[in-house]
Amino acid sequence: MGHNIHIKKETAIYAVCLAVLFCLFAWRQFFGFNKNDEIFYISTVYRFFQGDAMLVDEWNNVQLFALITYPIYWLIRLVHNSNEGIILIFRMAYLVFQALVSVWCFCRLKRFGWIRILPALFYFVTTPYNINSMSYNTLAFGFVLLVLVTLAGSENLSVPMCILCGMFTAGAVLANPYVVILFLLYGVICVGSAVWSHHTKNSWKQCQQRIPDALKIRTYFFMGVGAFLILLVFVWFVFSRGTLDEILECFEYIVMDTERQKSFWEKLAKYFIRIHRYYTGLVYLTAILSVVYLIARKAGKQVSGALYMITEAVAAGGYIIYYGFCWEMVGINYMLVPLTFVGLLAYVTSEKKDRYVFYGWFLPGVFYTLLAHFATNTGILTMSASCMIPSAASLVLIGQHMQAAKESWPVKQPNGYDTALMQESHKYSAVCGTVLAVLIAVQFVGGIWQRVTYVWGDEKLPKLTVAAEEGPLKGIHTSEENSFLYEDVMQDMEDLQLTREDKLFVVGIAPWMYLNTEAECAAYSTWETLETDPLIFTYYEVRPEKQPTVIYCYDYYESILDTEFGTAFLNKGYEPMMMRRGLVLLRR
C-alpha cells in the first residue's frame, strides 16, 4: 500500500511539473523569428508534400529527417489547408513530441522511483539552440534517448517492446545516419556476449538465461525487425517518386558536402580538443578525482565518495552557472556538458554500481556525442547539445548517489547518535546530498531560464513586440525591424502573383518564401543558397525540368547582374526587376 502511495506521489509531482513547464514553453513559442534553420526544416518537408522526390529533387544531405515529419505535416494540412501560421503550429507539435518522449522516459524508468522524475523533466527543458522545431537534431536526440531508456530502464524486454525500440532506432538513423554505427556496435556486443556466455555454460539455453535481455541476440533481432518496418516505408516513399537511376545520378551531389569535408582524424582530434578548451578545469578535476579514488580503493582503504562528489559538483556548478547565466552565445547547449562529468564520477564512486544505466545508457550517450560531432560542421555547439543524452543518464547516477548517501546518515537513537555509524567515510554524506540537490536545481533553473530568454536568430525577448498577422509566421512576435522586413517580402510575393505553375528559386537566406506560395520549389535545397554556389547550375543540368520561372535574390541589388550567376540567367532570357527586399529575375 505504501509503495503505491509513493508511486502516486511521484506521478503527481511529475505531472504537475510537466504541465507547468508545458504551459510556460507554449507561451514562449509565440516569440522569435528564426529566418533560416527552423523554417528550413519545415520548407523541406513542404516540398515533399508538394510532390518533389526525396534524394532526387532535394540534394541536402540531412533531408531524410523529413520522412518523420511528413506524416505530421500531412495531418496538419488535413485540418488546416494552407501554410498560414505553420511555424507556430510546428512549434506546438514539437512541444507535444517532447512531452511524449518525456512521459515515455518517466514510465520506462519506474524502477528508479523518484529519481526518474529528473531525466524525464531534464529532457523536456532542453532543446538544441533553443530552436523549437522537429529537426534532424531534435528528432535524433529524442529517438536515441527513447532507445537507450527503453533498453536500460528495465531488465525485461518483450518482443513488441523490442520491435518498437527498433522503430525508434530507425527514426534516429533517419535524423542522423551516423546512428547506424551505434546500432551495428550494439549488435557486435550482443553477439560477443552470447559467445562469451556460451563458453562459460554447458548449453545455449543456460547462457541465454544468464545474459540480460538488453544484450540478447533475440532483442537485437526484433529491434532489426522494427527498423526494417520503417525501412520498408522509406523505400516505398522514395521509389514512389523517383527511380533508382535518378537517385544514383543525384547521389554523388547529395554527399558532396563542402561544409563538412574534414578528415576522420581531424574530426576525432577536434572532438577532444573542443571539450578540453571549453571545460578544461572539469576535465582535469574529474580525471584526478577518479584516479585518486580508485587508487585508494585498490589500496584497501575505506573511502567515501561523498567528498569527491562535493568537489566535483561545486566545480560543475560553476560551469553551469557561467554557461547558463553569463555566456552570451547558445548557453543552452554549453550548459548541458558538466553533468556528464558529474555522472561519470558518481558511477566511479558508487558502492552499488548500476551497470544497466552506465553501460546501456551513459556510455552509448557519450559515444553518440562523438557521432553528432562527425555529422555536423557546428563543432562544439551540436556536440554539447547532444550531451543531453549522457547527462540525463548522469541524473539517474547522481540520484542514486544521493539516495545511497541519505541511507548512510546517522540514525537517531534514544541515547543520542549511534556512534558506530559516525564513521569517517560517512561524515560528508548529508553535505554531499545537499550539494548535489543544489547542483540539480541550478541545472534546471538555468535550463528553464535559457529556454525562455534565449532567442536564436532574433532580438532579445523584450524587443519581440510585433506579431505577424499573415503568412507562415502568423502569430509569431518579432522585432520591429524584422517585422518590416517580413511584411516587405510578403508584399513582394503578393505582387509576383505566383501560381502552382510557377517554379521559385530563392537566392540567399529566406526559406519562409517557399512556405508562402504554392509555387514549386526550384532549388536543390531550401537552405541558404548563395549566387556563388557551384551546385546551382549542376542541379539544372541534372534536373532540367526544375528550371525556375521566378528567381528571388533576397537582399541583393543590381550588382548581382554583373556576376557569373546573373550573366548566366540573363543570357537565358530572364528579365530583372528590383523589388522591396531584393532583385527578381523572371522568365514566364
Query: What's the pLDDT tens digit per position in 417-461?
Result: 444 445 554 566 778 889 999 999 999 999 999 999 999 989 999
The residues near 422 (Cβ < 8 Å, ≥ 6 apart) are 410
Q: Residue 229: what pLDDT? A: 97
Q: Residue 222: what pLDDT? A: 96
Q: Which of the four pLDDT bands, split at 50, 70 and 90, describes residue 413?
A: very low
Cell numbers given for 229: 518496418
Of 141, 146, 139, 137, the residue nearest 105 (C-alpha) = 146
Q: What is the mean pLDDT of residues 528-543?
A: 93
Helical H segments across 426-550, by residue range = 429-453, 480-496, 512-515, 535-542
Which position has the higher pLDDT, 553 or 528?
553
Q: Answer for the pair 166, 225: CB distance below 8 angstroms, yes or no.
A: yes
φ, ψ for residue 168, nearest 5 deg: -60, -40
Q: What is the mean pLDDT of residues 151-161?
A: 87
Q: What is the mean pLDDT of residues 40-63?
A: 96
Q: What is the mean pLDDT of residues 500-524?
A: 94
Q: Residue 411: what pLDDT? A: 44
CA atoms of 170 and 223, how far apart (whole Å): 9
Which position has the higher pLDDT, 422 or 332?
332
- pLDDT > 70? residue 412: no
- Beta-carbon count within 10 A of 394 CB: 31
Q: What is the mean pLDDT of residues 295-306?
A: 80
Q: Answer for the pair 318, 334: CB distance below 8 angstroms, yes or no.
A: no
The residues near 485 (Cβ < 8 Å, ≥ 6 apart) are 581
CA atoms of 70 and 177, how far apart (whole Å): 18
The separation between the first and the last C-alpha atoms of the chain, rounded to the nearest angstrom, is 76
Least confident residue range of 45-59, 183-197, 272-286: 183-197
Of 462, 491, 488, 490, the residue nearest 477 (C-alpha) = 462
Q: What is the mean pLDDT of residues 101-106?
A: 97
Q: Is 104 exposed, middle or buried (0-12, 13-18, 19+ CB in 10 A)?
A: buried
What sign has the CA pseudo-torsion 49, 169, 191, 364?
A: positive
Q: Residue 420: what pLDDT? A: 47
Which position has the higher pLDDT, 323 or 213?
323
CA–CA distances in Å: residue 225 to residues 104, 216, 317, 441, 482? 21, 15, 43, 41, 48
What is the helix (H) or strand (E) element at residue 544, kind and residue range?
none
Amino acid identity, position 581: R
Of all residues in the chain, the percent with pLDDT exceeding 70 is 92
Q: Residue 455: what pLDDT? A: 96
Q: What is the mean pLDDT of residues 59-73?
A: 96
Q: Residue 417: what pLDDT? A: 45
Of 524, 436, 461, 506, the residue nearest 56 (C-alpha) = 524
Q: Which of the four pLDDT bands, split at 50, 70 and 90, describes residue 540?
A: very high
